[in-house]
Amino acid sequence: PDFPKAGNVIYTLIASNGVVDISYPFPQPVVVNPLPTATPEPEEPVIEFFDISATEVVAGANTKIRLSWSVTGVTTEIRITSPTMNEFSGLENQGTLDLVVNESTFFFLTAYNGELRASQSQQVTALEPTPTPTQTATSTLTPTPTFTPIPTSTLTPTPTLTPTPTLTTTPSPTLSPTPIPPRIVLFNARNGTGTTADKITLESVTTSATGAVESVYTVIAGSNVDLIWEVENAKTISVEWKPLSGGAFEPLGNRSATGTESLVGLAAEVEYHLVAVSEFDDTDEATIKIKLNQTPPPPPENIRGVIGTDGITLTWQYDTADEDDILGFRLYRANMPPGTEFVSINSTVIDKTARTWFDEPGQLCGKAYYVVAVYNDVVNKEEAETQASTNSWFSRNCSR
């Protein structure tokens, strides 16, 4: 039987042999407790900005820089870490931090709300000092000859003057330009545009011995994700990708110094590789790996049945806003008693827009039904089912 939604009920069992009813009161109380209050889910903090006053310094020279940030939402911890400095923890939601650097390094800002977190990074590159070229000039002057006085007794012709030589300057040798390596200022993943707020989480950032940065993100399957980058001192910039499960990279072509690559309805785990090459063929590389999480759609609700002359019409409820996340529905039936062997009664998935199904079980009494939603599990690459409907429906007992 359907239990009442509120209030307590006492049931009495009556036994009958078809002639007389003999009542042996055996009361059984049913206490209906109120539904528990749902605990609100914590929300991920939002980093509005994480800025740095200078992205380039001179190697070996102590340079003062300033980090500034702003975080909104509930936070349990805010910290800044760097591979070359001690950790700064217990930071305020908005603030600044003055530091002195003399070498290349990274800074990572991470905001926590319990187990939820958001991260952003900044990079400082130390450049080698450039020597100042010098020029030298040489000249050779021949002194002007001295005139001998002409005696009064003998007239000597005036000597021809030797012209003063022109100043000769030896040009300085041409200096070869100092190669400036390319630099990937940032290569990050963020929530893409869409009607809902997709949650993307930065899981880790590692730097190889060559300076290549690898970032690993997780995102809910089907979300929209934007890859953003900014590159300096590069002649060519290219992007390539491959499935995270393996295989060769596929080139996506050359890109500009700043850009965005939009991934819509992400349904597979992927890896993207950004390569910057300078005019001297120096390179800088960065990688983003995106892993998927999937939240199963909600189950159907409120399954009901109406017994007809030759079958049972079943109905259920499902929010149309969740239809895009499912393939359809599947009904299960069991005989009562014992009610333990449920089998699917539809060989194909019922259309996701349907909310009713007619079943011809033969014997109409003693049946139990529940319904599930069927969806595509993109993480395990297989068809999957939600939990059973929030209630089951039972036809009348065959002994009546």
Residue 181 φ/ψ, nearest 5 degrees: -70, 155
| Residue 368's pLDDT band (cuts 50, 70, 90) | very high
Q: Which own/partner contact pairs does 33-38 have at CB distance under 8 Å and 24+ positions apart? A: 34/6
Whether the per-residue pLDDT at 8 is higher than 80: the answer is: no
Whether the per-residue pLDDT at 166 is higher than 80: the answer is: no
Picking from 332, 336, 340, 350, the residue whose alpha carbon sits closest to that of residue 389 is: 332
pLDDT of residue 61: 85
pLDDT of residue 95: 92
Summary mean pLDDT of the chain: 83
Spell out the residues 6+ positions from residue 396 whose beta carbon is closer than 8 angstroms to its own: 307, 365, 366
Q: Do 116 and 42 form a contact (C-beta atoms < 8 A)? A: yes
Architecture of the structural domain at 296-394: Sandwich (2.60)
pLDDT of residue 323: 92
φ/ψ region of 185 (left if φ > 0, alpha if ψ in -120 to 50, else beta) reads alpha
φ/ψ region of 292 (left if φ > 0, alpha if ψ in -120 to 50, else beta) reads beta
Strand partners, 26: none
Length of the chain: 400
pLDDT of residue 23: 57
For residue 180 the two structure tokens come to: 């400036």
Mean pLDDT of 292-298: 86
Q: Give the three-class secondary structure for 332.
A: strand
pLDDT tens digits, one per residue of 57-102? 888 888 999 999 899 989 999 999 988 888 898 999 999 999 998 8
pLDDT of residue 195: 44
pLDDT of residue 301: 96
Spell out the residues 6+ positions from residue 394 whose beta carbon is closer than 8 angstroms to its own: 336, 367, 368, 369
Mean pLDDT of 322-338: 90
pLDDT of residue 338: 78
pLDDT of residue 135: 56
* Cα atoms in the Cβ-side hemisphere of radius 13 Å centred on 70: 2
Query: What's 188's DSSP letter?
Result: E
Mean pLDDT of 321-335: 92
Spell out the residues 6+ positions from residue 284 whose beta carbon is closer than 8 angstroms to its own: 181, 182, 183, 184, 211, 212, 231, 234, 275, 276
| Residue 155's pLDDT band (cuts 50, 70, 90) | low
In the chain, residues under CATH classification 2.60.40.10 are 46-127+182-293, 296-394
The residue that leads in pLDDT, 332 or 25, is 332
Q: How many CB atoms lie within 10 A of CB 182?
A: 23
Q: Do 340 and 334 form a contact (C-beta atoms < 8 A)? A: yes
pLDDT of residue 284: 94
Mean pLDDT of 12-25: 60
Picking from 341, 328, 330, 329, the residue whose alpha carbon sits closest to that of residue 367 is: 341
| Residue 324's pLDDT band (cuts 50, 70, 90) | confident
E strands present in 150-212: 183-191, 200-207
Distance CA(205)–CA(200), nearest Å, equals 14
Q: Do 15 and 25 form a contact (C-beta atoms < 8 A)? A: no
| Residue 168's pLDDT band (cuts 50, 70, 90) | low
Distance CA(344)–CA(281), nearest Å, equals 63
For residue 28 the two structure tokens come to: 């059984």
pLDDT of residue 216: 95
* CATH of segment(s) 46-127+182-293: 2.60.40.10
pLDDT of residue 313: 95
Distance CA(189)–CA(191), nearest Å, equals 7
Q: What DSSP line would sit under 343-356, residue for residue?
A: EES-SSPEETT--E
Picking from 366, 376, 369, 355, the residue whose alpha carbon sits closest to that of residue 397 is: 366
Q: Do 257 and 239 form a contact (C-beta atoms < 8 A)? A: no
Distance CA(216)–CA(270), nearest Å, equals 10
- Percentage of the chain with pLDDT > 90? 42
Distance CA(231)–CA(55), nearest Å, equals 12
Picking from 133, 123, 130, 162, the residue whose alpha carbon sits closest to that of residue 146 is: 162
pTM: 0.44
The residue that leads in pLDDT, 386 or 9, is 386
pLDDT tens digits, one per residue of 118-142? 889 999 898 888 776 655 545 455 5
Q: Which helix (H) or strand (E) holds 373?
A: strand 367-377
pLDDT of residue 336: 85
Q: What DSSP line would sit under 2-59, residue for residue?
A: PPPSSS-EEE--EEE-SS-EEE----EEE--PPPPPPPPPP---EEEEEEES-SEEET
Give Cα 219 to chain centroid, integer Å.
5
